[in-house]
């Protein structure tokens, strides 16, 4: 990022108005991503990284986190999050549909929807058994 | 010996009675062939998107109004992310920060004591599909489970209480009342055997007097009130024993095994509880206008609470009886139809019969009151015969049984006539019977004269037997007193 | 090839449509010609799935309709779809091994609209897996080659779409744009592309990448063709809850964009030789103070001067939070993607690994084996920024900053200028395989991603060449919400006065 851009950003920061949820980078140790972090994220995301992948991810992550940590340099007190990009321009509300049901599928229609499944039996999707 | 307090909060999932699912137009009809009521959206095929069903929101508003809750003018759908094969998107569309309903109360009776529980919130979410563990074999010969997504996407209203219940009995009373309410409102069919109404109990214990809550466990998916009670009792006992033995309660999810009458820890998965909630970008915020709420309010049936009040004021019923009668709209409707036929001031008798004999008969045959073979008018006719003295209460029970079985087209008068059950009310006839008994049982008379009050009841009994039950007990009692006490 | 193939003889959709209507050529011959061209250029690797029979069947039906005098707007016009749009008949892979054999039982709404308008589908176009990438090197099926320089990337993620258009294989293609994935490959391949206002084109049937950012956008050789492809698909879709019913005061339906275009174009013609008189073009200070390569900057400058010659006026503006665009985008987009991609678990469709222990193992292995590095990377980042303890600091903060970034754009467009112009990318297309750190590519999205965060419409049009490899440079034109018609009219005006859009790669 150029210094001109960064200067523009810093001029927005008012040190007195702080968001209370987290501390600024200069107030904490620089984030180091540990292997445990990578393992935890991979578990949540149902990914099984090889040791190589884990090591690579760990080093990439540190760089990525440095990139996204720039977010924390700006105070956003009083700013509402923007989920729909047009919510600032016009009133975006959830549109509803009438409670009308379509008829049940015939077995052929059902099979067409399930045609890409790796394993099925008796109209059911099959997965290795989960023991509870 | 330490005194313990049990703390219980309930989370109930009520399937809403919409025709189509919450985010797709597939039917919600129960019992269809596997995966025939699961379209692209329900199967989470690539590119499919959710669209919200207005009927689900209507029902949520109706519930909120009925419990006196706040309906959120703006509420947000959020994704609850976790992997499970019956959850096709591997996230559930639910509500997190901004639920559609906030607060509200539910009142119920436990042992004739009224209790009010505060609701934390109620929110809309989608149901998951079903896993069928039926020994399927997978492509590599591995033991496999079948997944049916017919249920995936059915609208649920999750109703959460504050942890204010202090016994399993309270929890069950609350659950029954809530069940009655959602069926009453017409927002849920309440068929627990079909999974329409499922309760999770959060249970913890703490020493009596301690303010800090103990660690709680969650007992999931108990689908009958009886099992709910047993599960809570077991879990509370387990926790108390554990702590008294020096152990600590772990926060975890447990399942109730009805065969062994115990709760068991579910497989915990460490970070499995990091659901990473965030607002669903596929669904803008839900706005509910005052107009919409008004429209729903106008369409609301008379609420159980209002009927209870009316039963108390207009019909003179006790709060407890009124509560029992308004557990289910069908019961309240039936009772009211009975009461309408009775002379004024006799509603209590009607209540006794509806809550007593009729309820017992219905329970015995596992029938809903709406399927009762004896109609309200028919029952009212029978009760009328008690009131006018034609039959005694005891004889009336026999008539009722005959009506239940369908005798004489369920015509009370015809049955009374045919079985000769008319009460003997002719004073002379009764007096003759009393004289007969007094003469025949001098020993009991002597016992009574020597101070044994119980002997009096024995004499009453003898007269009733001699009358083959057809004497008016009050008349008998009065006459005996007259003759014995002079 | 030494002669121009039949389908490439026509400079515009309008011209081809005319020839078809007068039966000077048949849809069958046009389609056949295009299929042959595709086969002659498999080295570009632009296409992932062709089904000649299906295409020719569509052409046959088109010919019947043409004989009956049907006036469907795109009748007989050959197009193709980016492989993120699901299609019945043709496989949809999303550029990933995860969906290598997947055939959708339904069509994306956009696919249906274009088919109903009479267009002929030639097949599915290569792209970065799940739309993640800016060079089409993240496709499981090999990189796409830039027709201007086969050793260079075509841009991404709609690399196949842009390359196919640039190589003259078809009249137009659909792409999807999440953070620049229509505009950037259009720029790198010297063709035109447009990302419409968020919510104007249906996302139903588009394999979701960043749900609050994705829009389908057409790629073609010039603005007039973009208009023909955009108008029929710019319409409200009840199956998409983020689809808008109204655009300011106008209904979101076919005809709106065309009407606006006609209105603006008529007004321009009144101004004679300075058709863009009165148009204020905002030039953000921050765009030119970042590290963009000098010859790209010079090419953009020349283009801006051309606009001034046409009567427009330059206005200096500031978009103060430009430096935050990339971090904000790369928190929100991966977060949404990480959740959107959870459904790919090998249970109901998609790749399932061969060897596994239990269910969790099966799912984890399948995903890891099939997704590819960039997809895995973004899923990891997305999961991280949504996870417990980080949500407030990253995701929530990013959504707040998103509002501030959007306000920057709105402020400029409301008060200071009518459109904003600048480069699409900091440099021309780099060589295939010449990758630095993953974040290098991410940083290059600085000009395009902000527009996506704000949901604004934007175009890329070719405006020259740069670098010693003489590769295309694209100019970005950003408009206010729902101003697609105006953007196309402005671009058409420029394209009437210049010929960059008519240049063709030497190899063809």
Closest CA to C319 of B186, A5, B423: A5
Q: Looking at this predicted complex, what is its ipTM?
A: 0.96
| Contact yes or no for B399/B415 (Cβ under 8 A) | yes
Give me the phi and psi of B262, to 5 degrees please: -150, 160
Helices B393-405 and B376-387 cross at an angle (nearest 10°) of 160
Give the residues across from C472 on adjacent strands.
C465
Taking CA–CA distances from A116, the nearest residue in chain C reads C349
Q: Does A2 touch chain B (CB under 8 A)?
A: no
Q: How many residues appear in chain C?
A: 508
Strand stretches in C130-241, DSSP E? 172-177, 192-195, 215-220
| Residue of A101, A119, A130 to mutate when probing chain B, most B C-beta within 10 A | A101
Alpha-carbon span C408 to C454, nearest angstrom: 9
Q: Collect all residues of chain C within an 8 Å Cβ-Cβ radius of residue A92.
A: 199, 244
Q: Does B51 touch chain C (CB under 8 A)?
A: yes
Q: What is the pLDDT of residue A117?
A: 96
Alpha-carbon span B282 to A84, nearest angstrom: 9
Q: Based on C-alpha coordinates, what's the Rg of chain C?
A: 21
Checking if the pLDDT of A28 tops 50, the result is: no
**Contact residues for C496 (Cβ-Cβ < 8 A; gap 6+):** none
Give me the phi and psi of C447, to 5 degrees please: -85, -30
Q: Collect all residues of chain A within an 8 Å Cβ-Cβ radius of residue B37.
A: 104-105
> Which pLDDT tens digit goes with each residue over B46-82?
999 999 999 999 999 999 999 999 999 999 999 999 9
Checking if the pLDDT of A6 tops 60, the result is: no
> Which pLDDT tens digit goes with each residue over A39-56?
999 999 999 999 988 988
Q: What is the pLDDT of residue B23?
A: 98
Alpha-carbon span C219 to C196, nearest angstrom: 12
CATH number of the domain enclosing A54: 1.10.20
How is residue C187 written in tokens? Answer: 């720029």
Give me the phi and psi of C48, to 5 degrees please: -105, -30
Give the residues across from C49 on adjacent strands.
C124
Q: Does B287 touch chain C (CB under 8 A)?
A: no
Asked whether residue A34 is assigned to any structural domain, the reply reads: yes
The alpha-carbon gap from B44 to the nearest alpha carbon of chain C, in Å, equals 7
CB contact under 8 A, B85 and C105: no
- In the numeric block, the tokens 């959602």 are attached to B182
> Which pLDDT tens digit goes with each residue over B387-416?
988 888 888 999 999 999 999 999 999 999
| Contact yes or no for C340/C208 (Cβ under 8 A) | yes
Alpha-carbon span A54 to A31, nearest angstrom: 17
Q: What is the pLDDT of residue A13?
A: 33
| Contact yes or no for C410/C454 (Cβ under 8 A) | yes
Alpha-carbon span C347 to B309, nearest angstrom: 54
Q: Does A117 touch chain B (CB under 8 A)?
A: no
CB contact under 8 A, A88 and C212: no
Low-confidence residues of chain C: pLDDT under 70: 1-2, 507-508
* Number of helices followed by number of strands (H, E) in chain B: 16, 18
CA distances from B177 to A21, B110, B111, C11, C438 (A): 41, 11, 14, 74, 58
Find the mean pLDDT for residues B80-98.
Answer: 96
CB contact under 8 A, B33 and A92: no
**How many CA atoms are closer than 13 Å to the CA of C311, on its beta-carbon side?**
16
How is residue A109 written in tokens? Answer: 């229609």
Alpha-carbon span C1 to B479, nearest angstrom: 126
CB contact under 8 A, B281 and C94: no
| Contact yes or no for C468/C494 (Cβ under 8 A) | no
Checking if the pLDDT of B470 tops 90, the result is: no
| Contact yes or no for A77/C400 (Cβ under 8 A) | no
Neighbours of A131 (CB within 10 A): 10
- Higher-confidence residue of B169 and C435: namely B169
Asked whether residue A57 is assigned to any structural domain, the reply reads: yes
CA distances from C475 to A103, C194, C418, C420, C458 (A): 51, 12, 16, 10, 10
Asked whether residue A31 is assigned to any structural domain, the reply reads: yes
Closest CA to C402 of B285, A91, B281, A85: A85
Find the mean pLDDT for residues B72-101.
Answer: 97
How is residue A78 written in tokens? Answer: 């009083």
CA distances from C108 to B44, B49, C87, C237, C240 (A): 14, 11, 6, 11, 11
Taking CA–CA distances from A11, the nearest residue in chain C reads C320
| Contact yes or no for C6/C59 (Cβ under 8 A) | no
**How many domains does the structure of chain A reveal?**
1
C346 φψ region: left (φ > 0), alpha (ψ -120 to 50), beta (else)? left
Q: Please, which pLDDT band fits residue A1 given cuts at 50, 70 and 90? A: very low
Q: Does C449 touch chain A (CB under 8 A)?
A: no
Taking CA–CA distances from B16, the nearest residue in chain A reads A99
> Which pLDDT tens digit goes with each residue over B345-358?
899 999 999 999 99
Alpha-carbon span C297 to B70, nearest angstrom: 58
CB contact under 8 A, B283 and C241: yes
Q: Please, which pLDDT band fits residue B272 given cuts at 50, 70 and 90? A: low
Find the mean pLDDT for residues B283-299.
Answer: 97
The architecture CATH gives domain B427-485: Orthogonal Bundle (1.10)
Alpha-carbon span B109 to B170, nearest angstrom: 8
CB contact under 8 A, C339 and B278: yes
Domains of chain C: 6-258 (3.90.1300.10)
Alpha-carbon span C233 to C328, nearest angstrom: 29
Average pLDDT, chain C: 96
Q: What is the pLDDT of residue C282?
A: 98
Average pLDDT, chain A: 78
Alpha-carbon span B27 to B151, nearest angstrom: 9
CB contact under 8 A, A64 and C286: no
Q: Collect all residues of chain B within an 8 Å Cβ-Cβ radius of residue A87.
A: 284
Residue B364 buriedness (CB in 10 A; 0-12 / 13-18 / 19+):
exposed
CB contact under 8 A, B45 and A97: no
| Domain locations along chain B | 4-294, 302-419, 427-485
Checking if the pLDDT of B304 tops 50, the result is: yes
Catalytic residues of C: 82, 157, 181
Q: What is the pLDDT of residue A59?
A: 86
How is residue C408 written in tokens? Answer: 């920057």
DSSP element (H, E) containing B131: strand B130-137
- In the numeric block, the tokens 């339904």 are attached to C106
The alpha-carbon gap from C380 to the nearest alpha carbon of chain B, in Å, equals 13
The alpha-carbon gap from B90 to the nearest alpha carbon of chain C, in Å, equals 5
Nearest-CB residue to C241 (from B45, B49, B79): B49
Neighbours of B226 (CB within 10 A): 10
Alpha-carbon span B306 to B181, nearest angstrom: 12
Give the residues across from B159 on adjacent strands.
B12, B122
Asked whether residue A115 is assigned to any structural domain, the reply reads: no
The alpha-carbon gap from B154 to the nearest alpha carbon of chain A, in Å, equals 12
| Contact yes or no for C432/C153 (Cβ under 8 A) | yes
Chain C neighbors (3+ CB pairs < 8 Å)? A, B
Find the mean pLDDT for residues B13-41.
Answer: 97
Q: Please, which pLDDT band fits residue B154 given cuts at 50, 70 and 90? A: very high
């Amino acid at each position: 990022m150029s210094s001109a851009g960064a200067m523009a950003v810093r001029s927005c920061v008012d040190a007195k108005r702080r968001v209370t949820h987290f501390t600024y980078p200069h107030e904490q140790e620089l984030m180091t991503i540990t292997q445990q972090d990578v393992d935890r994220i991979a578990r949540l995301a149902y990914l099984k990284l090889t040791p190589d992948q884990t090591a690579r991810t760990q080093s990439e992550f540190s760089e990525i986190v440095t990139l996204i940590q720039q977010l924390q340099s700006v105070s956003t007190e009083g700013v509402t999050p923007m989920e729909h990009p047009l919510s600032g321009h016009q009133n975006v509300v959830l549109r509803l549909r009438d409670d009308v049901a379509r008829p049940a599928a015939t077995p052929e229609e059902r099979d067409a929807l399930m045609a890409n499944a790796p394993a099925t039996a008796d109209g059911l999707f099959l997965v290795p058994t989960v023991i509870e | 010996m330490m005194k313990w307090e049990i703390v219980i909060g309930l989370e109930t999932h009520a399937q809403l009675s919409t025709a189509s699912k919450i985010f797709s137009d597939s039917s919600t009809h129960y019992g269809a062939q596997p995966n025939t009521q699961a379209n692209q959206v329900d199967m989470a095929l690539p590119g499919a998107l959710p669209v919200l069903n207005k009927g689900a929101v209507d029902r949520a508003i109706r519930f909120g109004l009925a419990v006196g809750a706040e309906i959120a003018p703006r509420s947000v759908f959020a994704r609850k992310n976790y992997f499970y094969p019956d959850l096709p998107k591997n996230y559930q569309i639910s509500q997190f920060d901004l639920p559609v309903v906030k607060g509200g109360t539910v009142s119920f009776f436990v042992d004739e004591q009224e209790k009010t529980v505060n609701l934390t919130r109620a929110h809309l979410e989608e149901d998951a599909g079903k896993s069928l563990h039926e020994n399927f074999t997978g492509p590599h010969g591995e033991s496999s489970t079948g997944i049916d997504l017919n249920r995936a996407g059915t609208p649920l209203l999750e109703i959460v209480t504050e942890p204010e219940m202090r016994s399993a009995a309270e929890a069950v009373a609350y659950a029954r009342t809530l069940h009655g309410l959602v069926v009453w409102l017409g927002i849920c069919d309440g068929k627990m055997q079909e999974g329409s109404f499922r309760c999770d109990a959060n249970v913890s214990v703490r020493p009596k007097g301690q303010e800090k809550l103990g660690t709680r466990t969650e007992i999931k998916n108990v689908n009958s009130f009886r099992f709910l009670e047993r599960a809570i009792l077991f879990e509370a006992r387990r926790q108390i024993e554990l702590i008294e033995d020096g152990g600590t309660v772990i926060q975890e999810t447990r399942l109730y095994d009805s065969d062994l009458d115990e709760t068991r820890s579910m497989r915990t998965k460490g970070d499995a509880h990091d659901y990473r909630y965030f607002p669903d970008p596929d669904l803008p915020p839900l706005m509910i206008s005052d107009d919409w709420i008004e429209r729903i309010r106008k369409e609301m049936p008379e609420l159980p609470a209002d009927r209870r009040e009316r039963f108390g004021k207009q019909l003179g019923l006790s709060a407890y009886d009124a509560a029992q009668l308004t557990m289910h709209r069908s019961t309240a409707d039936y009772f009211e139809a009975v009461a309408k036929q009775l002379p004024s001031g006799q509603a209590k008798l009607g209540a006794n019969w509806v809550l007593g004999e009729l309820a017992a008969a219905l329970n015995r045959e596992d029938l809903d009151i709406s399927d009762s073979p004896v109609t309200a008018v028919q029952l009212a006719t029978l009760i009328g015969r008690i009131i006018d003295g034609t039959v005694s209460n005891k004889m009336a029970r026999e008539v009722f049984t005959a009506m239940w079985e369908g005798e004489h087209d369920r015509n009370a008068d015809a049955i009374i006539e045919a079985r000769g059950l008319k009460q003997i009310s002719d004073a002379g006839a009764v007096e003759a019977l009393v004289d007969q008994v007094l003469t025949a049982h001098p020993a009991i008379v002597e016992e009574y004269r020597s101070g044994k009050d119980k002997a009096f009841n024995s004499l009453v009994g003898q007269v009733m037997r001699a009358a083959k039950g057809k004497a008016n007990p009050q008349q008998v009692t009065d006459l005996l007193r007259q003759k014995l006490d002079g | 090839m030494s002669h121009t193939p039949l389908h490439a003889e026509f400079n515009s959709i309008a011209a081809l449509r005319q020839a078809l209507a007068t039966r000077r050529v048949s849809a069958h011959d046009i389609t056949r010609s295009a299929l042959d061209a595709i086969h002659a250029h498999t080295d570009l690797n632009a296409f992932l799935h062709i089904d000649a029979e299906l295409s020719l069947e569509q052409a046959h039906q088109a010919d019947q309709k043409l004989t009956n005098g049907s006036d469907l707007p795109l009748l007989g016009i050959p197009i193709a779809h980016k492989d993120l749009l699901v299609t019945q008949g043709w496989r949809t892979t999303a550029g990933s091994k995860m969906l290598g054999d997947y055939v959708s039982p339904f069509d994306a709404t956009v696919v249906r609209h274009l088919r109903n308008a009479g267009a002929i589908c030639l097949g599915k176009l290569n792209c970065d897996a799940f739309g993640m990438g800016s060079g089409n090197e993240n496709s499981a099926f090999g990189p796409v080659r830039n027709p201007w320089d086969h050793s260079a990337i075509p841009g991404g993620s709609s690399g196949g779409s842009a390359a196919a258009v640039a190589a003259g294989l078809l009249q137009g293609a659909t792409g999807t744009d999440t953070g620049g994935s229509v505009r950037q490959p259009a720029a790198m391949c010297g063709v035109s592309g447009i990302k419409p206002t968020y919510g104007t084109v249906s996302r139903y049937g588009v394999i979701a990448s960043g749900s609050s950012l994705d829009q389908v956008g057409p790629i073609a050789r010039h603005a007039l063709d973009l208009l023909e492809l955009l108008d029929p698909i710019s319409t409200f879709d009840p199956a998409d809850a983020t689809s808008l019913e109204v655009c300011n005061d106008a209904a979101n339906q076919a005809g709106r964009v065309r009407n606006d275009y006609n209105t603006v174009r008529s007004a321009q013609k009144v101004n004679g030789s300075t058709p863009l008189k009165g148009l204020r073009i905002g030039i953000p200070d921050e765009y030119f103070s970042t590290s963009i390569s000098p010859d790209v900057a010079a090419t953009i400058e020349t283009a801006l001067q051309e606009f001034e010659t046409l009567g427009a006026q330059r206005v200096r503006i500031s978009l103060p939070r430009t430096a935050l665009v990339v971090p904000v985008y790369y928190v929100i987009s991966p977060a949404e993607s990480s959740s959107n991609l959870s459904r790919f678990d090998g249970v109901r469709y998609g790749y399932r690994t061969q060897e596994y222990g239990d269910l969790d193992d099966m799912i984890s292995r399948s995903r890891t084996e099939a997704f590819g590095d960039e997809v895995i990377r973004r899923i990891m980042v997305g999961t991280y920024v949504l996870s417990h303890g980080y949500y407030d600091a990253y995701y929530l903060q990013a959504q707040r900053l998103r509002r501030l970034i959007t306000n920057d754009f709105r402020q400029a467009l409301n008060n200071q200028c009518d459109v904003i112009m600048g480069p699409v990318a900091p440099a021309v297309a780099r060589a295939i395989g010449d990758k630095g750190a993953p974040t290098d590519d991410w940083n290059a999205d600085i000009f395009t991603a902000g527009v996506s965060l704000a949901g604004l419409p934007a175009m890329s049009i070719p405006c020259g060449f740069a670098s010693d490899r003489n590769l295309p440079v694209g100019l970005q034109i950003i408009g206010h919400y729902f101003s697609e018609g105006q953007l196309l009219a402005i671009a058409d005006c420029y394209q009437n006065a210049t010929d960059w859009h008519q240049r063709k790669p030497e190899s063809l």
